Structure 1
Amino acid sequence: MAIVVFGSLNMDLVVQVPRLPQTGETLLGTNFDTVPGGKGANQAVAAARLGAPTTMVGRVGDDGFGQLLCTSLGATGVRTEWVLATPGPSGVALINVDDLGENQIVVAPGANGNVDSTDVERLPLEEDGASILLMQFEIPLMAVQAAAKRAKAAGEGHCVIVDPAPARADLPPDFYRWVDILTPNQTEAAQLTGVRVKNVATAMEAAQTLRQRGTPTVIVKLGPQGAVVATDMEVFHVPAFAVDAVDTVAAGDAFNGGLAVALWEKKPLWDAVVWASAVAALSVTQAGAQPSMPTRRAVESFLLSHGDLAVYRPDGQRL
């Protein structure tokens, strides 16, 4: 088994608005839709559409949303036998998307909040030599850390990738050493480090701060400014692909799914980040979370049509 995603499944309740509302303001929206989402499920769909064998582990409620979420995952090729239905509601996300593709999101965890140590024990990490464990923070932190520890105990072949979204202020000091790759966006990197992440230089500063806490590789996602990567060997910047954005709601999830697949395929890290950036770029050209995840053929065609993406070190030299 190649990629195991341990995380959230939500039904996204999406409203299109002319602009994002201010505090206390009521706006009239235009379109409304219910779209399968949740950071964990989104990343699982992204990986599966790119051709990697992918398994989802998590929880849904015993409601109609839960059934739809599992059916949607299965339709994309994600294995769902480790998704547990429990009494109560499924997770939901309330999402406003403006005409520029920017968004506001509020998540009610529902069944995701019930994920616990029994789910960690159910992770199929040893089966067929799972190589990538991909997680997020829309399930309890205790479960994320326990799963990372279990992956490390299962052998050196397991790579733990954590997307720290939404950012947590209560991370224990030893959390970082159980993670191989941490992938915050610029807001999350700022919340985790206290560094005001506004550009490539400050992203590099935040990435090095996080590395000093024990995670060997940190990738800070900067949206239209690309991504900054810091390892114990080098630091470099991957610019973003220029596209016309329609909906950015799942760009980070697309990036993480693409990164996991590229690393499973043993691509060099810089190449994996370029690949992940292409997946994210394509995702923002379509509306919705899971519906926007591109196929492998679409990504390969996109990369061919856009040529080589230059990757730069801090000194400005091309990698």
Structure 2
Amino acid sequence: MPRIPQLAIVGSINIDLIARTATLPRPGETIGDGAFNRLPGGKGANQAVAAAALGVPVRMIGAVGNDADGELARATLVAAGVDTSAVRTVAEPTGVALIGIDAAGENQISVCPGANSAVTVEADALGAGEAVLVQLEVPMAAVVSAARACTGFFAVNAAPAADLPTEILERADLVIVNESEFAAIPALSGALAATGQRPGPLVAVSLGADGAKLLRDGVEIARASSRATEVRSTVGAGDAFCAALVAALLSGAEEGEALAAACAVGAAAVADERSQPELQPLAAYLVR
């Protein structure tokens, strides 16, 4: 497999406070007999750890607080093989996600961004030709700055769903969403060709147990199924899917096989209760 270029991930770093109960509470309802866990998370950190596990040389651009949570999050990234030299320590506390998970692996998540609100990307933050993957748990200004600074492959995981500036859509090579995010961002369902010379971005839509599809200017160009597996948690599955799709495309995989590999990685992730699941190198998921 060709050497994968370096990937910079611009995104959130959180500590996940996870309550696992038989069912998720309805409004005003209290559910007892839960099991609690405290684990490193955040969409950016999850994607960075997954990319590193898949064999991608990856560095993280983000922020944590000057607190024990920040130390834990940073140490976890380093242990996973992620370069954290661009992770800043700021006055705000490390971000926190409150996560409820039921027996079927479905979840409810409330995010308190904390230090993630202080993430910035300077004009010289990215190397020549460096690939970039961003999410929307950091300020949109940081996403726009990353798009302007990036001279390599630029991917956007548009989650949580938000309207994407035209500048982002015109710069992106790949936009990744799930079904609800796709529905919430109307621009993704039509032709996204820039007013200039290049076509619109590739749009990947994850479909949960039904796999995923790839669109170009609103036209489906590939589809892949998901492997049947026991579902322990869906919290980190989307992030693992994103990291794998970007890694596979950077490795030179054809679009359909890259999508299939990403679905295989996503299936492996839902079988792990952690937000940062254990994964094999990318070659184990690519069928060529």
Same fold (TM over 0.5): yes
For the 8 Å contact 1:45–1:76, the answer to whether it is kept is yes
Counterpart position of 1:314: none
Q: 1:241 to 1:120 in 2, by over 3 A?
A: farther
1:18 equivalenced with 2:22 (yes/no):
yes
Residues 136-145 or 258-267, more deviating: 258-267
* 1:161-310 matches, cutoff 5 A: 161-169=155-163, 171-193=164-186, 207-209=188-190, 211=192, 215-231=200-216, 235-290=221-276, 292-296=277-281, 300=284
Point out where structure 1 has 5 or more consecutive residues left out of the alignment.
194-205, 309-319
Q: Residue 63 of structure 1: CA displacement?
A: 0.7
Please identify which structure carries the higher strand content: 2
Once the two structures are superposed, residues 251-304 of structure 1 have per-residue CA deviations (whole angstroms, 9 ceiling, x without a partner) of 1100011112112211111111111111111010010111x141217x71x667
Q: Give, as a single letter, the amino acid of the residue that structure 2 aligns with 1:296.
A: P
Report if the CA contact (8 A) 1:279-1:293 is conserved.
no
Task: Give the structure with the higher percent helix.
Answer: 1
Q: CA deviation at 1:17?
A: 1.0
Counterpart residue type for residue 166 of structure 1: P
- String of CA shifts for 1:199-254, please: whole Å, max 9, x gaps: xxxxxxx8542635773210111111111101268622211111111111011100
Secondary structure in 1 matching 2:230? coil
- The question of whether the paired residues in 2 share the 8 Å contact of 1:259 and 1:273 is answered with yes
8 Å CA contact 2:17, 2:37 repeated in 1: yes
SS in 2 for 1:133: strand
Q: Is the alpha carbon distance of 1:115 and 1:224 closer, same or farther for their aligned partners in structure 2, counting shifts above 3 Å?
A: same
- Deviation, 1:173, is 3.3
SS in 2 for 1:32: strand
Corresponding position of 1:123? 125
C-alpha deviations, 1:38-75, integer Å up to 9, x for none? 00000000000011111001000001000100000000
CA contact (8 A) 2:46 2:239 kept: yes
Question: Is 2:15 the partner of 1:30?
Answer: no
Distance 1:210 1:111 in 2: 36
Equivalent AA in structure 2 for residue 270 of structure 1: G
Work out whether 1:55 is the aligned partner of 2:48. no
Q: Is the 8 A contact 1:49 1:76 kept in 2?
A: yes
Contact map agreement 1:207 1:220 (CA 8 A) in 2:
no
- Cα contact 1:228–1:237 (8 A) shared by 2: yes
Separation in 1, partners of 2:156, 2:124: 19
SS of the counterpart of 1:266? coil
In the comparison of the two structures, how many residue pairs are matched? Answer: 279
Which consecutive unaligned segments of at least 5 residues does structure 2 have? none
The question of whether the paired residues in 2 share the 8 Å contact of 1:8 and 1:59 is answered with yes
What is the TM-score when the length of structure 1 is the normalising length? 0.82
2:144 is matched with which residue? 145
Note if contact 1:247-1:285 (Cα within 8 Å) is conserved in structure 2. Answer: yes
Counterpart in 2 of 1:197?
A: none
Q: Note the aligned Cα RMSD (angstroms).
A: 2.0
